[in-house]
Amino acid sequence: MTAWDILEIEPTEELSAIKKAYARKLKVHHPEEDPAGYQRLREAYDWAVKYQRTAVKRASVPVEAGVRAEEYDIGGNDQAEAAVEMDNYAEADVHIPTPPPVDWRDYQDPFRRNEKLIDEFMNRVEELYENFAERIDIEEWTALLDSDVIWNFELKREASERLLAFLEDYPFLPKSIWQLLDSNFQWSQEAFDEDHPFWDYASDRFSEYFQHQVKPYYPGLSYSFLLRAKNIDFDAYLYCRECALQHLIVNEMEQAEEWLHKAEAIFTGDPELLRLKGSVYLHTGRLERASEALGQVMQINPDDIEARMMLAYTLYESKQLPEAIQQCKIILDAKPDHIDTLSIYGKSLFEQNQLAESRNIFKRIEEMEPNASEAVTYLAAIHVRMIKELPANERPPLSELNKELQKPGAGKQLLLFLGRLPKIKMMFLFALMAYSWHVFTDMVYLNPFEFVLVLVFSFFVEEISASFFGFWSCIWLLFFAWIFRKFIREIRKAWRAARY
């Protein structure tokens, strides 16, 4: 039986065809269910890949008829033999024969030794997974990855494929362990590598789940609090919890809540599940139930900063301001620069009309993030209240308030004003005004301002006559006045923009 017979394809030099055949047959000869069949399949695949690469290299050699031995700098009889071989290759049709039958007995002993190492490695993986305390212990996995299998390149590749196949059926590991495995086996890079056949037949669901676990921005759920659970189906619970998280991320609240209820039916003492419940209730406007769920998280895990911040926000939204302020203070004692908590704290103080304290909080936020629009907005609102409600001796100077609102100084105002002047609209208005000035001056031999003075004095001084003032000069004077008025308005807009 040849390698092509095992792969069930015709002899080919196309690597993609070999890989597809291997992936298709791998579903039939699973490493755990049919180890002997998997052995034959793997050896056939490796042989076919080497055959394909050799054929490609031979086909890429540039050979021309009539090449002489002396043109090859390889020396001696080898030189003449190479020349003859190249001549024959050039003259004859290139034909790559079907590979001879593979005698698998030649590979049996070393394969058995290697297979034993792989089996021991996978047995340890199964032991780790079945023991939940060891499954979530990163030190246990680190020790596993220090085995001899990982230090052997060929064995490591096979162990990588078998481990991935195992994890496709049993994927529930902490995010840190997924990242540890990925850093050792480079799965996230091989997912885009055509030389790695596993990803050709891995399910889309598992591929997506894997990508979520190795990406740092995707939220990871804690497993440690499940150690207190007794006699539960951990995988069933973790599956429900993971489905709830995925629906929550894409804002499918109804489906997320359904999976949360299914998870609760298995185990109820997980603060991660309670935090997900609180998030669902918060997004759907059920503030009282959100506060209750997040309060339970605080009882189980008081150090969960994210859940405590969500609780503070929920209390703020439900107008329980003293309680929200208390939760914010607890967080800020541990993390003084937690900007989201500072925002909730400052808004709660503002709602309680503690203007000076709220102003200090938003000033801190503005120092941390100079372009924070929320901080500037609340500072402006605080200043308005201070001016309306506080006596002059109790509120800060106006210059200090303007500085907090990032209003520019006099010099910068002038630069901004000059920068706004050469706008297209203002240039167009200026051109119209100059043209109307020129036409009017040619008609009455006076500019518009001089003409207005003459016209005014003609009402009081008899010697001055306005008889030269005609219909068209009146039209052009009105047009100039209208353009001049719009030009002045644009200048005022530019000045206001520069000031604020």
What is the DSSP annotation of 7-70? HTS-----HHHHHHHHHHHHTTS-TTT-HHHHHHHHHHHHHHHHHHHHHHHHHTS---TT--GG
Residue 176 CB coordination number (10 Å): 14
Q: Along the chain (500 residues), what's the average pLDDT of each consecutive run of 10 residues?
A: 85 82 80 77 83 71 40 37 39 38 45 75 92 93 87 82 88 92 83 58 80 82 88 92 91 94 92 94 93 93 92 94 94 92 94 90 87 83 81 66 58 58 68 82 74 69 60 79 83 65
User: Are the C-beta atoms of residues 471 and 463 closer than 8 Å to each other?
Assistant: no
What's the one-letter identity of residue 340? D
For the CA atoms of 412, 417, 423, 425, what is the dihedral angle to 10 degrees? 160
Q: 237 Cβ partners below 8 Å, 6+ apart? A: 226, 229, 263, 266, 267
- Residue 317 pLDDT: 93
- Residue 71 pLDDT: 35
Q: Is 215 helix (H, G, I), strand (E, B) or coil?
A: coil
Read off the pTM.
0.58
Could you tell me which CATH number the domain at 1-102 has?
1.10.287
Q: Give the CA distances from residue 37 to residues 9, 24, 27, 42, 481, in Å, rounded to whole numbers and listed in that order.
A: 17, 13, 11, 9, 97
- Residue 228 pLDDT: 87
Domain borders along the chain are 1-102, 419-499
- Residue 429 pLDDT: 76
- Residue 402 pLDDT: 61
Q: Give the CA distances from residue 352 to residues 379, 426, 458, in Å, rounded to whole numbers and listed in that order.
A: 15, 47, 67
- Residue 238 pLDDT: 93
- Residue 399 pLDDT: 62
HSE of 90, CA atoms in CB hemisphere, 13 A:
14
- Residue 204 pLDDT: 79
